[in-house]
Chain A
């Protein structure tokens, strides 16, 4: 079985993330970027399937600027077999639909059985790329799975939405996105880090994928941006037995109780 895991290189959530207020795009100039944690969990699903079935091949795919290769290298050191980096200046500022179209072209070229992704990225939080890809490829989508079971012909799992909890399954090929409830990812070990350097990391441009972008890579136009003033701190009291009474006075003065 061939499994593709989709990976996004995003600003580290532990750092201060910035929006470029003139373009409305996420500021990716700093080098404080990482493979999104949720993608590492998706990779974990693929790798644990390979642990059980050695014939499984795991490729990681990312579309993004030059730095995205660092995220792919990390995935290779965790155990992925090969990586594809879609890198093309024309793709800068791509919206979710363009991103999904380009990823779909790469996935179709690879001929994969299972596509694994995170339910949403920590930067855009759009959570829509898996559905777009499923539609572009004409395959089933199991989104937001908290647990996943993969066999050679089928994938199933549990899915908790805002309103319902479901058990779902589908035949392969399929697109699956997983949530934070899915298992934590493994850490790269020393051997993994050493062998990652020799694993294939292929860089593909749009023309190598055999597609072009007609018109704009984004259907949306920025109208305005506003940066909210940073929040300051107010009163801080050390509890000496009267703190709760002081807090009640404060809440009452703010008309909150």
Chain B
């Protein structure tokens, strides 16, 4: 089996992010996972063991003093060195803002072939075959790569299950490249901590989203109330984000997050084509909108023509009643 290099997402302070499991699942589909971890200090034996439980056969710890100060500077260096060291058939990174920057630099350096925003991976014949959801899932396309090295960004919350466990070998290397000429400077960083117990929007089984129809940030609590009674994540339309009801990270759609939950509830959302591009593959869609001609009804399995301010509180009560 060929080696597959995986970049483990870490916080600036070195905490291994939850995406490690799914990235290693993706890698294990293609070969033997080599986990690359880039940190300011060598990682603990405990973290190495943990990565082994997640599926890493080898942990390649690249140590760089620049992790917290040079924006995505050391990671391409670490991956280029891992590629030279392990001659992998593929490098996998998460399809995040940082991941794409790192994959881009690595691809330019190694002439590896890019497979971007991949939702599934398999070996077909002797080639790596990736699945992509195009135009919000209106099409599904499979691509194979014609170069010796594939550089793959995987969509978070796409790979489920667990990879086979390993007792990993640890290799430590130091990143010594001078990054000052081409890596930007990080002046300040703040971890975005969500203090809610609500599920993450990406990968959520249920999503309740609100649109401009909510009218204000205060009224948006109606969306959150329904989400909480269902145990759902909270989403929003771009109009709701633009109006400042919720942060941009909640935006569902063309230029926001793509979700594919079992249940999607759209409250006061017209259903513009760009919004639909982020949620049209949901199993069940429910819409509540006071305009009976709103396009959201064209794709809703259950639509209510009505005012969210009267229907939603009734709905919350009715769900609670049924449960008790």
Contact = CB atoms under 8 A, between A and B. Distances in A.
Interface in A141-182: 141-144, 146, 156, 159-170, 174, 179-181
A245 B103 CA distance: 50
A95 B108 contact: no
A128 B312 CA distance: 41
Contacts of B96: 161-163
A21 interface: yes
A234 B145 contact: no
B191 A164 contact: yes
Contact of A234 (B71, B112, B300, B319): B300
Interface residues on A, range: 35 or more
A254 interface: yes
B135 to A, nearest CB: 5
Contact of B147 (A159, A219, A236): A219
B135 A17 contact: yes
A119 B96 CA distance: 11
A167 B187 contact: yes
A164 B11 contact: yes
Interface in B123-148: 124, 127, 129, 134-135, 137-147
A31 B111 CA distance: 34
A104 B153 CA distance: 22
A139 B105 CA distance: 11
Contacts of A120: 255
Which one of A38, A122, A174 has the greatest number of beta carbons of chain B within 10 Å? A122
Interface stretch (B43-51, B82-90, B114-122): B114-122
B294 to A, nearest CB: 10
A216 interface: yes
Given A122-B255, A180-B255, A247-B304, A168 B186 contact: yes
A97 B108 contact: yes
Contacts of B203: none
A24 B312 CA distance: 42
Contact of B286 (A220, A227, A247): A247
A161 B96 CA distance: 8
Contacts of B115: 220
A2 B129 CA distance: 42
Contact of A168 (B71, B124, B139, B254): B71
B65 interface: no
Contacts of B238: 180
A135 B105 contact: yes
A132 interface: yes
A138 B180 CA distance: 11
Interface in A99-144: 100, 119-120, 122-132, 134-136, 138-144
Interface of B: 9, 11-12, 17, 71-72, 76, 96-98, 100-105, 107-109, 111-117, 124, 127, 129, 134-135, 137-147, 153, 156, 181-192, 206, 230, 238, 248-249, 254-255, 262-263, 273-274, 277, 280-281, 284-286, 292, 297-307, 310-312, 314-315, 318-319, 322-323
16 contacts: A19-B134, A19-B139, A160-B248, A165-B189, A170-B184, A180-B248, A220-B146, A225-B142, A234-B303, A235-B303, A239-B306, A243-B304, A244-B318, A247-B318, A248-B318, A256-B263
Can you list the 9 inter-chain pairs with the closest CB atoms, starting with the nearest? A131-B104, A239-B306, A219-B113, A135-B108, A170-B184, A223-B142, A234-B301, A244-B314, A244-B315
